[in-house]
Amino acid sequence: MSDLLELVVSATASGSIYALVALAYLLILRPTSIINFAVGEWAATGAFVGVAAQTTLAWPALDGPYWLAVIAVLVCLGALGWLVEALTVRPLIARGANITSPILALLGVLVIFRESLTMLFGADPLPSPPPFGFKRVAFGLFAGVPQQFLIITVTFVLFAAVWLFFERTVWGRAFEAVALNRRAAALMGINLRRVTTFAFVSGAMVAGLAGLLMSPLTSAHYMMGLPLAIQGFTALVIGGVGRVEGALLGGLVLAFVEQLGARYLPIPSGLTLGFPFVLLILFLFLRPSGLMPPREAR
């Protein structure tokens, strides 16, 4: 039983990471209709920036508490998200390019990020110091390492905040309005370019945070981006692209299927890597709108 409960903690933590990556996709996809597969690499970048900030690799002055690493990741990734949007997406949209053009351009960005990470930090995994150590902690029946509880807490708080932003603030409504109908949103006086910029900046920040949070459990590695991109995308498809809650639900469902399958199904553990794809195909065939369909089609 305690075995199962520990698995619940571990799956919830992994699911939270997937959910954060799915949220990064969603923040960009909703207002712009652009699927940005580079979010996985942005998460990897977040992990490396976090390690660099904490281990004084780059800035000795920043050898300090964990929150400095958090700020460094948010600032760097926000700036990178802004730069990527300004250099690749904005010129294409301004020239009236088809929506597939920015998606392809962002695949190029994915490669650039991965190769830059290899050149800057090398091909070996870098251990990332956990802010609260590796001592096992227990909350009632649920036990795990502190990092797992940190991941879960941050993710749920962040999702609550994003949900409140979309549902309760006028700018959140404006984002949704852009997702529903760009032309009508422009006629309201919403600055579409600013919304696009904000989408990329916030998406990059959330992706970077996901990488930073997971790195103490997995180390920062230049190959960590692609699996995250696939798992996050799968979580998005499972949950449905229309709602913020869907990303969280999708991430959790994916992680529980993965971990319960690895634990209890009589298959070699390596095969569990295929679970996201199986779920992705199943959902695309059987329930393409996801578990939480959008409130209304455009």
From residue 190 to residue 209, the character string flagging contacts with another protein as x (rule: CB under 8 A) and all else as - is: xxxx----------------
* Integer Cα distance of 102 and 91 in angstroms: 9
- Cβ neighbours around 212 below 10 Å, total: 29
- 95 lines the binding site for another protein (CB under 8 A): no
Could you say whether residue 295 binds another protein (CB under 8 A)?
yes
Q: Minimum CB separation from another protein for residue 158, in Å?
A: 24
* Footprint on residues 127-186 left by another protein (CB under 8 A): 170, 173-174, 176-177, 180-181, 183-186
Query: Token digits for 85?
Result: 């949007």
Nearest residue (CB) to another protein, 15 versus 290: 290
If you search the block for the tokens 């830059």, which residue do you land on?
Answer: 116
Q: Among residues 196, 210, 165, 199, which one has the least CA distance to residue 73?
A: 210
The structure tokens 């390492």 sit at 145
Q: Which is nearer to another protein, 15 or 242 (CB)?
A: 242
Q: Do residues 47 and 212 lie in contact, with contact meaning Cβ atoms separated by under 8 Å?
A: yes
Dmax (CA) for the chain in angstroms is 59
Which of 187, 268, 270, 286 binds another protein (CB under 8 A)? It is 187
By CB under 8 A, is residue 3 in contact with another protein? no
- Three-state DSSP at 34 gives coil
User: Which of these ranges, 133-141, 152-160, 188-196, 275-283, lies near another protein under the rule CB under 8 A?
Assistant: 188-196
**Interacting residues with another protein (CB under 8 A):** 96, 170, 173-174, 176-177, 180-181, 183-193, 295-296
